[in-house]
Amino acid sequence: MMPVQRRSLVVVAGLPGAGKSTLLANVGPGVTVVDSDQIRNWLAAMLPSGTPYARYRPLVHVIHRIRIALAAIFAPGPVAVHDPATGVGTRLTLVVIGALSWRVLHYIWVEVTPEEALGGQRARGRVLRKNSFARHVHRARRLDLSRPPRGWRSVTVVGRRTRLCLRSEPVGP
């Protein structure tokens, strides 16, 4: 069980296919989960059957970022976010959202090999384009996970089979 502050923004990061959604499926009570799969599934149900994901992927990303900001501002307890967060720009955006919403940021990295991540993508039936996945792998290899990234309170490295349970710490006197 990982204790987090009531006003935390916990980003579950890792290569696409690493198992982020699986980890977020049972994070614990009182935690608001913001997963891009929620938007992807909702849009897929709204669009004509068979619409390729590539056609609405940009919209998924935009709505996902908006939902992260809204949850960070309005959720009463911790917010857990699904995002690869391999890029500096994405992490900086999350730091800004955290700062503007007075949230403490925690970075959880789901450590898998690129081959395991590709297996996860195949299992879910959604494989990234080769160049896009290669960019994520390249950026992930440059991450220094020995200390929290700038603007983050903590960094934790977990495996894909980890059971993530977040517990909000009681507020002291």
pLDDT in tens, 147-162: 998 899 999 999 887 7
The whole-number pLDDT of residue 173 equals 42
- Residue 171 pLDDT greater than 70, yes or no: no
Q: How far apart are alpha carbons 115 and 113 in whole angstroms? A: 5
Kindly report, residue by residue over 57-113, the tens digit of the pLDDT. 999 999 999 999 999 999 999 999 999 999 999 999 999 999 999 999 999 999 999
For residue 18, tell me if it sits in a domain.
yes
Please indicate, yes or no, if residue 173 is contained in any of the structural domains: no
Q: Establish if 30 belongs to a structural domain.
A: yes
Q: How many domains does the chain have?
A: 1
Question: 12: domain CATH number?
Answer: 3.40.50.300
Give CA–CA dist 43/56, Å, rounded: 8
Name the band, by pLDDT with cuts 50, 70 and 90, for residue 172: very low
Structural domain contains residue 17:
yes
Q: How many other CB atoms are found less than 10 A from the CB of residue 21?
A: 17
Q: Assess if residue 172 is contained within a domain.
A: no
Domain of 80 in residue numbering reads as 2-167
DSSP string, 87-128: SHHHHHHHHHHHHHTT-EEEEEEEE--HHHHHHHHHHHT-PP
pTM: predicted TM-score of the whole model, two decimal places: 0.89
Q: Which amino acid is at 46?
A: M
